[in-house]
């Protein structure tokens, strides 16, 4: 794993040398149209803060923060304009990740975790030789090698401590049985219902007259069904749901796969029954219940292996989360004002989006 970490940083360094530093302007959403005028590297560096945060006296450099953000942005934002909310969300996420990583590194140093630096020395020596003929290498060599060494060491320390924190002893039989009993839902096959649907698709923004006509049509179809018409044939003829190709049969579904209003309607049905007309966001719908399989609890003997796997996974995650939480509580963290401003802006945008979502749901209510 340590070798992979080192190789990853060397690959990053090759990009670093080719581009030196790629800076994104944080003030506006990302897009080709609103990109800032080109600046020289020196101008960009001089206009940037020195640090993103200071953790127990250790600075996280702003340039490292931008480098991490740029890397994440390339993987996250593929094309088109990026909203300010999405950009801020990623910026805050990256800052939080970097702070947590620094906390782990600081604790690893405090614990005097020993690592073998020989492989790092060898890789950096090879990397130095590979770039020795580059014209720009000589002027950047010391800074790049120093930065690489620090990042490699920090990542190895982080991984070493995480491995130590996540270490879990072989669980005892009583612990597994207790975990199984306390988390019985994890070992229960949920109720499954084989459901058919006839959906008369209507755009949510359509006029009320369009919705009214669709509802009348749904009532007529329900009448035909109650008079003995075949659900499968009518689903093929009238349904706009993709299951119409399978005569409206959606197969076996478990709770959570249907919308709340659809599930409520299906819950009231006995096998073979047809629902009342159900108002969905996509249009009025009729449901038929073909079969219902009750939930089944898997016996402990059959679930023991799964119980052991889940117990260990849950234990390691809990130990790691508790460790990070304790570090965040005890650490002295100073955010740069720009990060605090981003946090406030994101909070405001999230509150605005939540309000809009409530308004959309309230508007859609009559059609549900």
Domains and CATH numbers, the chain: 2-167+336-364 (no CATH), 191-294 (3.10.50.40)
Confidence at residue 147, expressed as pLDDT on a 0 to 100 scale: 86
Confidence at residue 222, expressed as pLDDT on a 0 to 100 scale: 96
Residue whose C-alpha is closest to residue 281's, from 217, 222, 206 = 206
Contact 252, 193 (CB under 8 A): yes
Helix or strand holding residue 219 (H, E): helix 208-226
Confidence at residue 179, expressed as pLDDT on a 0 to 100 scale: 96
Confidence at residue 251, expressed as pLDDT on a 0 to 100 scale: 96
Question: In whole angstroms, what is the distance from residue 139 CA to residue 93 CA?
Answer: 33
Residue whose C-alpha is closest to residue 338's, from 22, 60, 57, 36 = 60
Ranges assigned E (strand) in the chain: 51-55, 58-61, 188-189, 192-199, 249-254, 278-280, 283-293, 296-297, 333-335
Residue whose C-alpha is closest to residue 106's, from 57, 61, 45, 34 = 57
Which parts of the chain have pLDDT scores under 50?
A: 2-3, 5, 14-44, 365-368
3-state secondary structure 151-202: HHHHHHHHHHHHHHHHCCCCCCHHHHHHHHHHCHHHHEECCEEEEEEEECCC
Phi, then psi, of 51 in degrees rounded to 5: -135, 155
Contact 51, 60 (CB under 8 A): yes
Global confidence as pTM: 0.66
Confidence at residue 139, expressed as pLDDT on a 0 to 100 scale: 87
> Which long-range contacts link 220-226 to residues 24+ away (Cβ below 8 Å)?
221/286, 222/274, 222/276, 222/277, 222/286, 225/274, 225/286, 225/288, 226/274
Question: In whole angstroms, what is the distance from residue 119 CA to residue 126 CA?
Answer: 11
pLDDT in tens, 137-176: 888 889 889 988 988 999 999 999 999 999 999 999 999 9
Confidence at residue 119, expressed as pLDDT on a 0 to 100 scale: 87
Q: Is 217 exposed, middle or buried (0-12, 13-18, 19+ CB in 10 A)?
A: middle
3-state secondary structure 233-252: HHHHHHCCCHHHHHCCEEEE
């Amino acid at each position: 794993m340590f070798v992979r970490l080192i190789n990853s940083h060397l690959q990053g360094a090759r990009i670093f040398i080719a581009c030196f530093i790629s800076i994104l302007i944080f003030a506006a959403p990302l897009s080709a149209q609103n990109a800032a005028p080109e600046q020289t590297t020196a101008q960009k560096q001089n206009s940037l803060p020195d640090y993103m945060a200071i953790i127990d006296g250790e600075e996280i450099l702003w340039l490292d923060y931008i480098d991490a953000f740029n890397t994440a942005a390339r993987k996250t934002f593929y094309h088109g304009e990026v909203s300010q909310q999405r950009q801020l969300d990623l910026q805050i996420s990256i800052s939080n990740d970097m702070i947590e990583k620094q906390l782990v590194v600081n604790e690893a140093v405090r614990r005097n975790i020993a690592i073998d630096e020989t492989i790092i020395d060898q890789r950096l020596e090879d990397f130095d030789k590979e770039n020795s003929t580059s014209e720009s290498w000589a002027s950047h060599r010391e800074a790049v090698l120093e930065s690489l060494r620090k990042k490699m060491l920090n990542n190895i320390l982080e991984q070493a401590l995480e491995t130590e924190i996540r270490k879990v002893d072989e669980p005892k039989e009583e612990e597994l049985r207790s975990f199984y009993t306390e988390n019985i839902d994890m070992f229960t096959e949920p109720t499954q219902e084989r459901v058919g649907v006839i959906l008369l698709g209507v755009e949510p923004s359509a006029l009320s007259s369009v919705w009214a006509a669709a509802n009348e049509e749904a009532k007529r179809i329900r009448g035909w069904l109650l008079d003995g018409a075949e659900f499968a044939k009518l689903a093929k003829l009238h349904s706009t749901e993709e299951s119409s190709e399978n005569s409206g049969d959606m197969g076996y579904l478990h709770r959570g796969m249907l919308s709340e209003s659809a599930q409520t309607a299906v819950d009231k049905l006995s096998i073979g029954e047809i629902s009342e007309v159900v108002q969905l966001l996509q249009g009025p719908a009729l449901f038929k219940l073909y079969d219902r399989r009750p939930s089944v609890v898997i016996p402990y003997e059959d679930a023991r292996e799964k119980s052991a796997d889940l117990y260990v996974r849950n234990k390691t995650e809990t130990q790691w989360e508790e460790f990070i939480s304790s570090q965040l509580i005890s650490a002295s963290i100073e955010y740069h004002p720009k990060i605090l401003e981003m946090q406030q802006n994101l909070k405001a945008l999230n509150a605005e989006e939540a309000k809009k979502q409530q308004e959309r749901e309230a508007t859609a209510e009559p059609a549900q």
